[in-house]
Amino acid sequence: MKNPVWLLKWILKAAIFFTLFAFALNNQHEASVHFFFGNQWRSPMVLIVLTAFAIGLAVGALGMAPWWWKHRNAALRERQAKALDPVADPAMAPPDPQHGL
């Protein structure tokens, strides 16, 4: 028998989907976004909200990228240092001749 958690996950996914679907159906009326110099964008409200969400995701990911690269490079340097110097890692150190191990 399958784990009952998969059913709970599918119910949660279906609830989220139908909630977002109902949101999209309820916000089909046209709205406008006013930019500078008298420019405006007229579109269904759900597309405007989705576009704002996508732009927010992109700005967040781009803002986090330098931090991620810095930590990724530090982890790679640490991994390379351990590979070149086995004594730096106690698990890889040679046995102590006094203890005979």
Gap between the Cα atoms of 92 and 90, Å rounded:
5
pLDDT beyond 60 at 101? no
pLDDT digits (tens, 9 = 90+) for 3-36: 778 888 899 999 988 988 888 888 788 888 888 9
pLDDT digits (tens, 9 = 90+) for 80-95: 877 776 555 566 666 6
**C-beta of residue 51 within 8 angstroms of C-beta of residue 33:** no
Work out the average pLDDT over 41-61.
89
Per-domain residue ranges of the chain: 5-86
Buried b (16+ CB within 10 A) or exposed e, 44-83: ebbebeeeeeeeeeeeeeeeeeeeeeeeeeeeeeeeeeee
pTM strictly above 0.85: no
Gap between the Cα atoms of 25 and 14, Å rounded:
16
How far, in Å, are 30, 41, 49, 54 from residue 36 at the CA level? Answer: 20, 11, 19, 21
Average pLDDT, the chain: 83
Per-residue pLDDT at 54: 92
Per-residue pLDDT at 91: 62
Radius of gyration (C-alpha) of the chain in whole angstroms: 27
